[in-house]
Structure 1
Amino acid sequence: MNPAIETFRTGGAPDTHVDACGRRHPQAGGDARIVSLVPSLTELICDLGLGAQLVGRTGFCIHPRETLRTVPKVGGTKDVKVDVLRALEPSHLIVNVDENRRETVEELAAFVPNVIVTHPCAPADNLGLYRLFGGVFGREREAEALCAALQSALDEAAALRAQLAGEAVLYLIWRQPWMTVSRETYISAMLDTVGWRTLPEGTGPRYPAFDWALAARAERVFLSSEPYHFNASHLSEVESLGGRPAALIDGEMVSWYGSRAVAGLRYLLGLRRELAGLAAA
């Protein structure tokens, strides 16, 4: 078995060529052929200036639209068309612990030489992710620029978090059944960075269904734009059910890691200030 998929584990490593599985990847040449099965990492690959080497992506990989318009699709994040992917002859495959099925990755690893496993669990984990891709694909300068931008946003978030009292929030991702996110998710970690603590507390399913009595412990309810597309028409219904102020929130900005984490934190900083009645920084 390819050591890249023997064990999925979290945690970073000081070596910028080591992925979340603990495998060290050699530096790729300019002829690397990359397939990404992770929408947010497809965006990161392009933002690092590697769009010309991207030879395959999922149907959910939609950003940046113009760059991806001519890149072949290989199915979805979980229903990968193996024969289509094989025909692209990739040298590198980008996967994620949470978004891709292990059995699919094992099947693909039989013919893809380099399987890069990722598992960012919090915004700061993107620093290691930038350096991993930058180190493997020779984009160290671009990776460090992203690191500087992210660190600046993290520092600003820490300052705002110290300024404002924390708030418990209920973050909706689905309707009928009503579902939210656990504190073990990247979404929850993003919100916590600006002082919004998601409910429920403790461990449990990553995306649990809930009873509306839970809203009594929240100070506000967020309706995400994905995976369920909540819109303004749902606000009054949610406020009636939960008895708490409700607001729409951009799900991509909260759930997409990679280079989107920079814009995502800036977005959350602006929303936190707006809802707290603070002037923009």
Structure 2
Amino acid sequence: MCVFIASLNSGSNGNCYYVGNEQEAVLIDAGISCRETEKRMARLGLSMSLVKAVFISHEHSDHISGIPVLAKKYQLPVYLTPRTTFTGRQFLNPQMVYPFVAYHPVKIGNITITAFPKFHDAAEPHSFIVSCGDINIGVITDIGSACEHVIRNFAQCHAAFLEANYDEQMLAGGRYPYHLKRRISGGRGHLSNTQALELFIKHKPEYMSHLLLSHLSKDNNNPELVKQLFDEHADGTEIIVASRYQESAVYQIGNLVVPVTMPHHEYIPANVQYSLFQ
């Protein structure tokens, strides 16, 4: 068994993450347009026909704005918690909306999605572990602190999308008003580079092959800075910076030998150059 993962976009302008095997896939959040999602997946050799569901982490627009069109066009079930306010629900058939509960796994074919709670300034925010066989992929962004739920689940990941939103000095000396700086750095805002690195150093399992640093701030972070910071402590884990402007490569997690021509997927090796953004 192997798993294919990609960031289609990561940042305050939209978040969407792809996790799948050879038969099916899920999207975690859909904060970019349907058209942009289709274009980026096509460039990666990924097929929308494999996508079987969308899971919503919370109701902020950069995580849900693409859902009404995407779900309706492809008749995708949308999973969210009962308390998550999703203003686009009126555009969906009620039969397409499904609730999920923390630590109650949801099966989508051979994929299992397990949500867990986190601290963030939303109604009922969750992050996810997406499992295919014995391979676990974490999608852990928009977290104010590395609480026990985050730590416990991160420590099980073979690969993860992990928030590294801001550099403390850049945020403190930046142009944001004081109340916004407090919101970002508070316990229900976003994770700093230092906090993310501490989680990585203390709780990364030995078998973690890839870490995609995600949801970087445009104004309060620098992709080269954060990649260098994590590379110094990578210890065999491939560090990738997910862009707010374009899709990442597709990364294969697992040991299955991939054929030269593979239906629905264009395999891109883990050492592909990542794209830096401003």
Which structure is higher in RCO with an 8 Å CA cutoff and minimum separation 6?
2
Interval containing the TM-score (normalised by the shorter chain): 0.3 to 0.5
